[in-house]
């Protein structure tokens, strides 16, 4: 009987531990990190498209050199600032990354606006394909950011709610809340395009 009692006690302990939320914090943390990888993947896709877009526009709009230079410089800056999974708890690093990406977004907006002055460029198949890919990538970035924000919200909530707060204060006491994406200052206004 004692052997059966021991087995039942072990099963009971196993069920209790599995239902107590111990695995919730690391699971949610890994989901948030995976979502961040998706965000970085989409930003990298955008960065990879930019040289082709710039080269296509360059052939038509050589006099728009300052716009092309601004895009190339913004792309270089955006690809130099990286935030890995261990930096997700540092809001300053995330803000620097966001600011660099916002500069690139503004420069791209000006570049696409340049096409309005060049009817031949607007009808160029390469330009249209690149513009379509870039627009699709911007949508993917928005979805990836939304998914990351949701994963971070879920993770940060788990650190502060019962029963996972017990594990957050004991076994995972070193885990910090992750930083959210926030809108860049002035992003509520569309970029100003001047020719």
- Cα–Cα dist 21/1, whole Å: 31
**Cβ-proximal residues to 164 (8 Å cutoff; 6+ apart), any chain:** 21, 24, 25, 158
C-alpha angle 6/9/14, rounded to 5°? 125
Are 164 and 21 in contact by the 8 Å Cβ rule? The answer is yes
Check whether 187 has a pLDDT greater than 60.
no
Q: How sure is the predictor about 186, in pLDDT bands with cuts at 50, 70 and 90? A: low
- The conformation of residue 20, written as its DSSP 8-state character, comes to T
- Extents of the domains making up the chain: 47-195
What percent of the chain lies above the pLDDT cut of 70? 89
Domain 47-195 annotated CATH 1.20.1440.20: yes
What is the residue whose two structure tokens read 């080269």? 55
C-alpha angle 93/97/99, rounded to 5°? 115
Check whether 39 has a pLDDT greater than 90.
yes
Q: Is the pTM for the entire model greater than 0.85?
A: no
Check whether 177 has a pLDDT greater than 90.
yes
């Amino acid at each position: 009987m004692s052997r059966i009692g021991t087995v039942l006690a072990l099963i009971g302990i196993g069920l209790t531990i599995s239902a107590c939320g111990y695995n919730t914090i690391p699971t949610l943390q890994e989901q948030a990190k995976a979502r961040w990888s998706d965000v970085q993947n989409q930003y990298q896709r955008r960065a990879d498209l930019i040289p082709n877009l710039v080269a296509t526009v360059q052939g038509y709009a050589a006099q728009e050199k300052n716009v092309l230079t601004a895009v190339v410089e913004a792309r270089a800056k955006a690809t130099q600032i990286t935030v890995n999974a261990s930096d997700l708890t540092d809001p300053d690093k995330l803000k620097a990354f966001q600011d660099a990406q916002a500069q690139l977004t503004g420069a791209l907006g000006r570049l696409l606006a340049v096409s309005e002055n060049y009817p031949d460029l607007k009808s160029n198949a390469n330009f249209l394909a690149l513009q379509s890919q870039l627009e699709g990538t911007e949508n993917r970035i928005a979805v990836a950011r939304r998914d990351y924000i949701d994963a971070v919200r879920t993770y940060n909530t788990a650190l502060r709610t019962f029963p996972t707060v017990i594990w957050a204060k004991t076994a995972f006491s070193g885990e910090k809340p992750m930083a959210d994406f926030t809108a860049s200052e002035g992003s509520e206004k569309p970029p100003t395009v001047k020719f």
